[in-house]
Amino acid sequence: MTTTLSTKGQIILPKAIRQRRDWEVGTRLIVEETAEGVLLKRAPTFAATKPEDVFALLPHRGDPKSVEEMDAAVLAEARRRHDRD
């Protein structure tokens, strides 16, 4: 597949690539220059944060959860979402 650079410096990514990557109109991409060329990656939806940036922002009522309980809850939600798709 090939594409052409416009006079405005824009390129059109082939539809097959956009569809495989699920890149729709408005998708933000990170552009990295590498030794082999240019790399495009989907930009994260949210800025990176550290636990200390968000710790204790949401109130919690009840007993603290163990790591095992949290792991089980994450697995249950992942299974629920997988079954939905």
User: Does residue 78 belong to any structural domain of this protein?
Assistant: yes
Give every residue of the chain whose pLDDT is below 70, as ranges.
57, 85
User: Does residue 58 belong to any structural domain of this protein?
Assistant: yes
Total domains in the fold of the chain: 1
Could you tell me which of 14, 32, 33 has the C-alpha nearest to residue 23?
A: 14
Q: For 50, list phi and psi in degrees, rounded to 5.
A: -105, 155
Q: Note down the domain range covering 63.
A: 51-84
Instruction: Please tell me the predicted confidence (pLDDT) of residue 60.
Output: 75
> Taking the model in full, what pTM does it have?
0.51
Instruction: Please tell me the predicted confidence (pLDDT) of residue 46.
Output: 84
H helices of the chain, in order, are 15-21, 51-54, 67-84
Instruction: Please tell me the predicted confidence (pLDDT) of residue 61.
Output: 83
Q: For 14, list phi and psi in degrees, rounded to 5.
A: -55, 145
User: Does residue 28 belong to any structural domain of this protein?
Assistant: no
User: Does residue 24 belong to any structural domain of this protein?
Assistant: no
Rounded distance between C-alpha atoms, residue 27 and residue 7, angstroms? 22
Q: For 70, list phi and psi in degrees, rounded to 5.
A: -65, -45
User: Does residue 3 belong to any structural domain of this protein?
Assistant: no
Instruction: Please tell me the predicted confidence (pLDDT) of residue 58.
Output: 73
User: Does residue 25 belong to any structural domain of this protein?
Assistant: no
